[in-house]
Structure 1
Amino acid sequence: MSQPKTKTETLMQALRDRIAGRALGPGDRVPSIRRFAEVMGVSPSTVVEAYDRLAAEGMIRSRRGSGFYVAAANIPPMKVAQMGPPRARDIDPFWVSRQALNAGPGTLQPGCGWLPEDWMPQEALRKGLRALAKSGGAVLTSYASAQGSDALLRVLQTRFAEENLPVAPDQVMLTGSASQAMDLICRLLLNPGDTVLVDDPGYFNFHALLRAHRVHVISVPYGPDGPDPHAFAAAMQQTPRLYITNSALHNPTGATISPQNAHRVLSLAAAHDLTIVEDETFADLEPEPSPRLAVLDGLNRVLRIGGFSKTLSASLRCGYIAGRADWIEALVDLQVATSFGGPSPAAAELLAGVLIGGGYRKHLTNLHRRLATARKRATAQLALLGIAPLIRPRGGFYLWCRFSDGIDTGEIARRCVADGVILAPGNVFSPSENADRCMRFNVAQMDNPHIYVALKKAMA
């Protein structure tokens, strides 16, 4: 059994954690002895001892008359999972993501974020692969162009135009995925310490990504009509640089922003020089188009990102960014620097072929029908366990549900893992950890009766 840490050791570890999490970088001044003593509730002499021992390790160094500074040497590798406040394993984004991505055969995944294999247009993809195999060698062997496949870019321009969002060729680019698109935007527009607004609840992988960019995250409650208007207005006082959201079929709630709320968000963004990143990943799963910030704004201060993993293939990694031409030019340069071009030409050409083919709209119609049936069936089965959706989504495959009082969904998820069922507890989506009674369910992955048996057992 390990011995409890002394006060000095606790202080040393606290400073090591700040350095490992890049809250303090090489050359940064560490808190003064008096300030650190006040924050940690210890005597100055304890801080002096901790600093002296860290200096002996080479972690920090002293400058006479100036204080202590982080040394350039001995900086540990950045561990993104350890950045930010520690979180219990069952609500940690990295643990939840790894459980889903590494699930073995037979594992049931009602908490995952994708459709079952047999719901995807596999025959269209196979046909596209056969055509690709007969195409010119450049598609199979060459690097992508800096902006991405012309064929897929033209498809995107046509699709945007159908929404009354005209996009010039220099206003759109392809990326390796929607997540990579978000990463590139963060690299372009953010510096460590900048403030970013996110939805609460919201997509947990974007929250994890923001940790790596060492920004200050403020969460805004998200309800049936979009972000809470009063909380959003109050957050403007902290001078945020970005706001990241889904307007259509919000992840995880399935909500859709109202026209009034969309107008308020854009008005506040204009007044406070706020840039918005609107994730359109789920847009094709919406039966009828709803208000889009990018359309209402005309891509002035809104950047649209998206991908094809939810309706076509998660294997063919490809995303996109649409925005102002000057931003796209800078983002293309960043992608060249980090990836030496856009996504695989083979993947982009294959996706373009499937999207152009008349079968894609038929595929979407079939998806909408199947998802509507699956939502109705899952809602009825969950109701038998006393679990009810907070929002009735217009489409998509998510149900954001509330459990009875006294039930911690993190604990439910932990128990269900032992029964081969991977769930998505509410607090993994909530930076404020105010969703402990909520859970996101993927209705397309809930046909197996064992899921409900495992839930009932875990709730007993």
Structure 2
Amino acid sequence: MRQLLSMLEERLEEPTSRALATAVSRAVAEGALAPGTKLPPIRTVATELALSPTTVSAAWGLLARSGIVATDGRRGTTVLDSRSPDGRRYRQALEKPAALARDLSTGVPDESLLPTLTGVISSLDRAGSPSSYLEDPVLPELAALLRADWPYAPERHSVVDGAMDALDLVTRALLRFGDRVVVEHPCFPPLLDLLEALSVEVVGVPVDEEGLDPEGLADALRAPVVAVFLQPRAQNPTGVTMSPERARALADLLADTRTLVIEDDSVHGLSPSPALSLGTWLPDRTIHIRSYSKSHGPDLRLAALSGPDDLLRAVDARRHLGQGWSSRLLQRILVALLTDERAVAQVTDARTEYLRRRQAVVDELAAREVVVGGAEGMNIWVPVLDEAAAIVRLASQGIGVSAGAPYAVLPTTGDHIRVTVGLVAEGHAELADEIARAAHTTAWGARAR
């Protein structure tokens, strides 16, 4: 402790809270204070550095708001890993042995199934300008469309730059160091990377064919849980859509808690299932996120979210420190796409086509004794005997798939790969042949069973 205090004293240029915060920041940046280091109690620092406890407390507050330390009551103040998140799981999920002719690892929509902008762009005469940088983040015309088509009646809507932007803003605004959160197992890797960067405790609960397992959630709730993260439809990677009965059961379990529900519905417009949200029963604690990337184009960079007024105001306040708002020009394009008859018909056709492509591959795999669960979405979650062997074997045939391990939260119950079959317009039997051979391969070089 004496060495740590001497290190801070060397870097302290004046007896102010800002100078002390700067000294700690400099020590962290230089590697002298490693992530996980416990800082001495406020009174100890004050005594040793001849500062008032108020000054030290204010410095710790500045550092906490900057994400450099986390304060946790009697457990003290801890230095965080303030480096940028490295997206380790996400990169691992998308790694491929080489450039491949057919990349089915990405999870992106088929560009040919996106609605065309013909007529939409020509109807927009200018970009426009906000009257204030603090005005409502949602274009009024878009807000009206959202209210008419939302799965429950929330207090407030906002618009951000895609689902991951929404998750990033929500988690950074509402979660703190050491908070316990529940996620689905398997889970979308970027969300796990994001939560890991925030140093929260992640608790995995399995997903079955109706959604998050109620017994697993009940076990997790034996200790305080700050938030539960759900994908109500076409869960990524499994393709499971939550049943209304399961949603109600989960809401009942959460009713007597203070746990937040954060929902990511990334397939709106492309799902044949009605929109579903625990906000129907828990509107005061539910944040529901709807992305338009899959249905209308990833480059629109738009997602809508809803929630109680106090929570979304916290999210909006954090956003004003960064990008401020989502382009109203892009919002106007989205409004046009949501109301243009031709665009609406194109999205409807895309929904039918994605279902056809998925079901065609699933049926062909079943005929080859490879059973795939889930009901919808662009991806399938394929059980394999050896994940690494399956990936390499498919790569040898020019096919790229996503590794299953980065999606795992709990100890694995078997190897899997994720395949984006939404990109496969034809040749489903041939693709199923290759996937089945890979699924039955026990080691690279071994014969398929």
Give the structure-2-normalised TM-score: 0.74
**Alignment of structure 1 residues 58-77 onto 2, 5 Å:** none
Q: State how far apart, in whole Å, the 2-side matches of 1:175 and 1:215 are.
A: 23
Q: State how far apart, in whole Å, the 2-side matches of 1:82 and 1:442 are.
A: 20
Question: How far apart are 1:136 and its partner, in Å?
Answer: 5.2
Counterpart residue number, 2:400: 422
Q: Determine if the alignment matches structure 1 residue 130 to structure 2 residue 122.
A: yes
Counterpart residue number, 2:115: 121
Q: State how far apart, in whole Å, the 2-side matches of 1:233 and 1:22 are.
A: 37
Q: Is the CA contact (8 Å cut-off) linking 1:20 and 1:77 kept in structure 2?
A: no
Q: State how far apart, in whole Å, the 2-side matches of 1:183 and 1:320 are.
A: 14
- SS state at 1:310 partner: helix
- SS state at 1:271 partner: coil
- SS state at 1:379 partner: helix
Q: Which amino acid aligns with 1:302?
A: T
Which of 400, 406, 416 aligns to 2:381? It is 400
Which of 364, 371, 379 aligns to 2:362? It is 379
Larger mean Cα displacement after TM superposition, 365-374 or 268-277: 365-374
Q: Determine if the alignment matches structure 1 residue 225 to structure 2 residue 245.
A: no
Q: State how far apart, in whole Å, the 1-side matches of 2:176 and 2:367 are.
A: 49
**Alignment of structure 1 residues 25-424 onto 2, 5 Å:** 27=39, 78=83, 80-81=85-86, 92-97=89-94, 107-122=101-116, 125-132=117-124, 134-135=125-126, 137-138=128-129, 145-160=135-150, 163=151, 165-168=152-155, 171-289=156-274, 291-297=276-282, 299-339=283-323, 341-383=324-366, 385-391=368-374, 393=375, 395-403=376-384, 407-417=385-395, 419-424=397-402
Counterpart residue number, 1:53: none
Distance 1:237 1:76, change over 3 A: closer
Q: State how far apart, in whole Å, the 2-side matches of 1:177 and 1:28 are.
A: 41
Q: Determine if the alignment matches structure 1 residue 432 to structure 2 residue 437.
A: no
Q: State how far apart, in whole Å, the 2-side matches of 1:440 and 1:417 are.
A: 14
Q: State how far apart, in whole Å, the 2-side matches of 1:20 and 1:234 are.
A: 41
Q: Determine if the alignment matches structure 1 residue 446 to structure 2 residue 407.
A: no
Moved over 6 A (4+): 19-22, 141-144
Q: State how far apart, in whole Å, the 2-side matches of 1:268 and 1:377 are.
A: 37
Distance 1:80 1:415, change over 3 A: farther
Distance 1:20 1:227, change over 3 A: farther
Q: State how far apart, in whole Å, the 1-side matches of 2:335 and 2:32 are.
A: 43
Q: Is the CA contact (8 Å cut-off) linking 2:87 and 2:193 kept in structure 1?
A: no
- SS state at 1:217 partner: strand
Counterpart residue number, 1:24: 36
Q: State how far apart, in whole Å, the 2-side matches of 1:352 and 1:21 are.
A: 50
Q: Can you list the C-alpha shifts for 1:4-59, whole angstroms capped at 9, x where unaligned?
A: xxxxxxxxxxxx9xx99985157379xxxxxxxxxxxxxxxxxxxxxxxxxxxxxx
Q: State how far apart, in whole Å, the 2-side matches of 1:317 and 1:98 are.
A: 24
- SS state at 2:293 partner: coil
Q: Which amino acid aligns with 2:228?
A: Y
Q: Can you list the C-alpha shifts for 1:272-316, whole angstroms capped at 9, x where unaligned?
A: 21111011111322223164212233x211110121001000011
Distance 1:77 1:330, change over 3 A: closer
Q: Which amino acid aligns with 2:164?
A: S
Q: State how far apart, in whole Å, the 2-side matches of 1:184 and 1:431 are.
A: 22
Q: State how far apart, in whole Å, the 2-side matches of 1:259 and 1:20 are.
A: 53
CA RMSD of aligned residues (A): 3.3
Larger mean Cα displacement after TM superposition, 439-448 or 264-273: 439-448
Q: Can you list the C-alpha shifts for 1:123-165, whole angstroms capped at 9, x where unaligned?
A: xx24322333x235538x99795523333222212212xx4x2
Q: Is the CA contact (8 Å cut-off) linking 2:277 and 2:288 kept in structure 1?
A: no
Percent of residue pairs bearing the same amino acid type: 21
Q: State how far apart, in whole Å, the 1-side matches of 2:333 and 2:276 are.
A: 30
Q: Which amino acid aligns with 1:358?
A: E
Q: State how far apart, in whole Å, the 2-side matches of 1:388 and 1:182 are.
A: 32
Q: State how far apart, in whole Å, the 2-side matches of 1:202 and 1:22 are.
A: 30
Distance 1:367 1:201, change over 3 A: same
Q: Is the CA contact (8 Å cut-off) linking 2:264 and 2:290 kept in structure 1?
A: yes
Q: Is the CA contact (8 Å cut-off) linking 1:276 and 1:303 kept in structure 2?
A: yes
Q: Is the CA contact (8 Å cut-off) linking 2:233 and 2:273 kept in structure 1?
A: no
Name stretches of at least 5 consecutive residues in structure 1 with no aligned partner.
Answer: 1-15, 30-68, 84-91
Counterpart residue number, 2:15: none
Q: Which amino acid aligns with 2:391?
A: A
Q: State how far apart, in whole Å, the 2-side matches of 1:20 and 1:211 are.
A: 23
Q: Can you list the C-alpha shifts for 1:204-227, whole angstroms capped at 9, x where unaligned?
A: 211111111111100001101111
Name stretches of at least 5 consecutive residues in structure 2 with no aligned partner.
Answer: 1-27, 42-76, 442-447
Larger mean Cα displacement after TM superposition, 442-451 or 268-277: 442-451
